[in-house]
Structure 1
Amino acid sequence: MKPFSWSTEKYVAVFLFVVLWALIFYSTSLQSGDALKPPAFFSFRFGRPDRCAGRYVYMYDLPPRFNADLARDCRRLSSSTDMCRHLVNDGFGPAITDGGSLPESGAYATDQYMLDLIFHARMRRYECLTADPAAATAVYVPFYAGFDLAMNMDKSDLSERDALPQDMVDWLVRRPEWHAMGGRDHFMLASRPTWDFLRGPDGGWGNALMTYPAIRNMTVLAWEASPWHGNDFAVPFPSHFHPTSDADVVSWQSRMRRQERRLLWCFAGGSRPDSRKTGRNQIIEQCGRSSRCAMLGKAAATKTPGEYLPSHAMRLLESAEFCVQPRGDSYTRKSTFDSILAGCIPVFLHPISAYVQYTWYLPRDYRTYSVFIPQADVNGRNASIEEVLKKIPPAKVAQMREEVIRLIPTVMYRDPAAKGMKFKDAFDIAVERVIDRVAKRRRAAVEGREWQDSVDGYDSWKYDLLEDGHKEIGPHEFDPYISM
């Protein structure tokens, strides 16, 4: 018997057959409105399946005045404390070595204002980073907007406050990468609340970065977004644990499941100038009268006003079933994510503190992982926090805590050097959602329209809460609590 062999004609016939079917599938995708997603036949790179197809990100190599120089000038970030110490370890800050409740490795005294640096460090090691902007789905702008604002917010001359943001915009709009979609495929991160970048022409707090039309075209990430604007999206505050492996994450989750929680509830924080308005005074008063509640003691305080030792704060959060999260200096606060890391069920007093913020990260049904007690009820002394929490059945508490523990990997920022991790962290989810948004905007542009996933104004937040496939908004249970 002759050994089997292929003739040139047979190779050609098979090749033509594959090409024919590939064209058929591609034609079908055009008709279904999915023209911008190449069929699997084309998801190859150098003859191998391309895991990064549709996920490539191009990162600008910005002039150093927009990032590296700002980091080097770190002593200007604060007039009251040395912020330079927080820049080490890719922005995670100094390692925590005093033991306590945090792991022996991967624990850092991370400052929330370092997220510009943390995100940039992760993007440098992003597996689907490309040097070819034409191959990219999205374009990342590593401008340290939070650093710039911190250094210039006290300047009375508004043009001085706006100088670097305006320079940044002028630089961007001259780039050929910008002209491809007018910036609609660009995104950036600002480690401050959105409000800090929405100053009007008549003065006030902050700078005008996010009022520029060019920035309005982009997707902007911040650890507190505005419910009334359509192009900014909230990402988690950085907490204190930055794992290097899946095993680290699983080990931590298991530990939080086994944790003995001797307290019913706790509050990790202090009073603020608006404490009466936000409910903090009432929380402190109610907790002080209860044997089932605890707050941070004097031993937890550092020399910096309002700052606490992470190990002490985490130990408190890990010891309680529920962690009360009133408004911070703004609507949100870092402690929310510290409490999730600690497996502690958060108790919110205002929807903007979480429910209309972190829609990429937290379940739409807030009852599955948290408790809501209206701020007005606490302020008016109409609600006892402890009585509300005591009425929740133990089985329900266990379900909620398990949901919180399940959320842990999604709201932390892993070590940039970690490789092969299966868990998606806060960075991974942010990039995925940005890419998805850009793809929808690109698809709409091909069809000659503008993709509208939100609007500016009172109802903007409602669009972010829509379930997939839904387009109509209407009355919502949070309407009584949210106003312009």
Structure 2
Amino acid sequence: MASTPTILTATIFLFLFLLKSTISQPTTTTDCTGRWIHIRRLPTRFNLDLLFNCSQYPLFDNFCPYLPNHGLGHKTHPLSRSWFRTDPLMLELIFHRRMLEYSCLTADPNAANAVYLPYYAAIDALRYLYGPDVNASADHGLELFDFLQYDSPGIWARREGHDHFLVMARPSWDFSQPLRNDPPSWGTSFLQLPEFYNVTALTLEARAWPWQDHAVPYPTSFHPPSLAFLESWMRRVRRSRRSTFMLFAGGGGISATPNIRRSIRNECTSNVTQYLGAYVKLCEVVDCSNGVCEHDPIRYMKPMLQATFCLQPPGDTPTRRSTFDSLLAGCIPVFFEELSAKLQYTWHLPEEIYREFSVFIPKEEVVFKGLRIVEVLMGIPRTRVRRMREKVIELMPRVMYRRHGSSFNFRATKDAFDIAIEATLHRIKSRFEEEVAFE
């Protein structure tokens, strides 16, 4: 296996080469009306140089192992073509690499409908969250803003940042500490800075009220390189035997304090029951305490493939990567808070279709009123369960990030990246039109 410095050096040189060659050759085969994007040239201290610090945050983690394959991480098996040990923090790197393949790039910022900032905000935030600048978290982003103001200032000034967007591979709460918190609390203040109020931020979990951030799917470990690999996986999911009725993959729930995870663990037993004419395990818990599942998809994907329902209780924040893992496994998600998904990923999973692919059970009913989850799920007719699973399979392409350099015919299938870009362009256009209307 190549050393970390070798991997990092190769990654940086390849990124620089791709960036130069890609934006100097705009497409001539795609209708780019309203879709032109300019990638802002930032000094490498705002992105690629940050990767060299991958082992410098002992209170966080050594994220060096997750950098190969442009942020997809190492393959789960040497012969694997679609499965990687992907860390969610790498979404910024994954997104940057995919942007270099975007079909409507322009070197002229004045011709662009949107400007992409390839700033690795979540990786840079580590020094404020876990590193030497923990007491200066209100400064996060100011250096970037200074650069945008003084290097080609006309790009920013043209629309005062309304046409700019970036990816932040953490929940928005991690960037929302009030500027004058004394003493400081968790997080940096990037999204609280007035300087960035107009910028669109794509985060793993968005706040409920500000307009500036919007949630995009967590990256899973599945990154197929072609349509054939995706369709092969979908066939496997369809024919998988569902021998477990409901499953919870996660940690927590062991304290005496009443909470939804504790209620799930108490309800889950090893009893076998009859469901849809077959004997199945009533409930299974895949213990993912202490992060043991984070980079080992085999540990939880196989049980999910064998389960009918996957329970998705909130944890430290409402959303979970496990939601997208379960969708890729054809396991019907069961939510206990609307902020866990329904009010988050509206671009990729529109609110109006949630009843078609998921179940909602208010956590208060379970924790404080004794409602049994299994009884609710057992009451769903088998025909509806089958329709829900088919809808889950239909949604798979929308919530996964295909591999960079994928086959040409696969690019006609919109994945999570494509949908995010399309919606971001629409959002920026609508925002600008609103500003013009009020002038």
Query: What secondary structure sits across from 2:268 in the alignment?
Result: helix
What residue identity is the alignment partner of 1:398? R
**For 1:275 and 1:263, how far apart are their aligned partners in 2?**
27
Letter in 2 for 1:391: G
Provide TM-score, normalisation by structure 2: 0.85
Does structure 1 residue 167 correspond to structure 2 residue 167? no
Q: Which residue of 2 aligns with 1:281?
A: 262
**2:394 maps to which residue?**
406
Shift in Å at residue 445 of structure 1? 4.0
- What amino acid sits opposite 1:113 in the alignment? L
**Aligned with 1:227 (options 201, 208, 223):** 208
CA contact (8 A) 2:253 2:263 kept: no
| Unaligned residue ranges in structure 2 (runs of 5+) | 1-24, 273-281
CA-CA distance at 1:363 after TM superposition: 3.1
CA distance in 2, matches of 1:306, 1:47: 41
Residues in 2 aligned to 1:193 and 1:213: alpha-carbon distance in whole angstroms: 19
Match of 2:44 among 42, 56, 64: 64
Distance in 1 (alpha carbons) for counterparts of 2:128 and 2:259: 28
SS at match of 2:203: strand
The one-letter code sitting in structure 1 at the alignment partner of 2:149 is: V
Q: Any idea what the Cα deviations from partners look like across 1:375-421, whole Å, max 9, x if unmatched?
A: 11121252111111111000000111111111100000111111422
Percent sequence identity is 40
Secondary structure in structure 1 of the residue aligned to 2:266: helix
User: What secondary structure sits across from 1:139 in the alignment?
Assistant: strand
SS of the residue 1:296 aligns to: strand
Deviations along 1:129-188, whole A, 9 cap, x unmatched?
Answer: 111111111001111111111232146866633444111122223321111100000001
CA distance in 2, matches of 1:92, 1:123: 15
Structural mapping, 1:138-287, within 5 Å: 138-154=114-130, 160-174=136-150, 175-200=153-178, 201-202=180-181, 203-271=184-252, 276=257, 278-287=259-268
- Separation (CA, whole Å) in 2 of partners of 1:146 and 1:72: 15
Partners of 1:403 and 1:61 in 2: how far apart? 41
- The equivalences for 1:91-102 within 5 A come to 91-97=71-77
The counterpart of 1:105, out of the listed 61, 68, 81, is 81
TM-superposed CA distance for 1:432, in Å, is: 0.2
Equivalent position of 2:381 in the other structure: 393
Q: Which moved more, 1:141-150 or 1:264-273?
A: 264-273
Partner of 2:64: 84
**Is residue 333 of structure 1 aligned with residue 314 of structure 2?**
no
Amino acid paired to 2:251: G
Deviation at 1:296, TM superposition (A): 1.6
Alignment CA distance shift 1:394-1:146 (3 Å): same
2:260, 2:27 → 1: CA distance? 61
Q: Give CA deviations for 1:213-246 in whole Å, capped at 9, x if unaligned.
A: 2211011110100012111100000001101112
Aligned to 2:279: none
Aligned partners of 2:398 and 2:415 also within 8 Å: yes
1:16-35 paired onto structure 2 within 5 Å: none
Amino acid at match of 2:433: R
Most deviating of 152-161 and 287-296: 152-161
Alpha-carbon contact 2:293-2:299 (below 8 Å) kept: no
Change (3 A) 1:136 1:425: same
Larger Rg: 1
Aligned to 2:33: 53
Relative to structure 1, is the Cα distance of residues 78 and 148 closer, same or farther in structure 2, using a 3 angstrom cutoff?
Answer: farther
The SS at the match of 1:268 is strand
Of 101, 110, 113, which aligns to 1:137? 113
Q: Does 1:426 align with 2:407?
A: no
Asked whether the equivalents of residues 91 and 114 of structure 1 are also in contact (C-alpha less than 8 Å), the reply is yes
Match of 2:329 in 1: 342
8 A contact 1:318–1:343 mirrored in 2:
yes
Determine if the alignment matches structure 1 residue 383 to structure 2 residue 371.
yes
Match of 1:28 in 2: none
Tell me the SS of whatever aligns to 1:222: strand
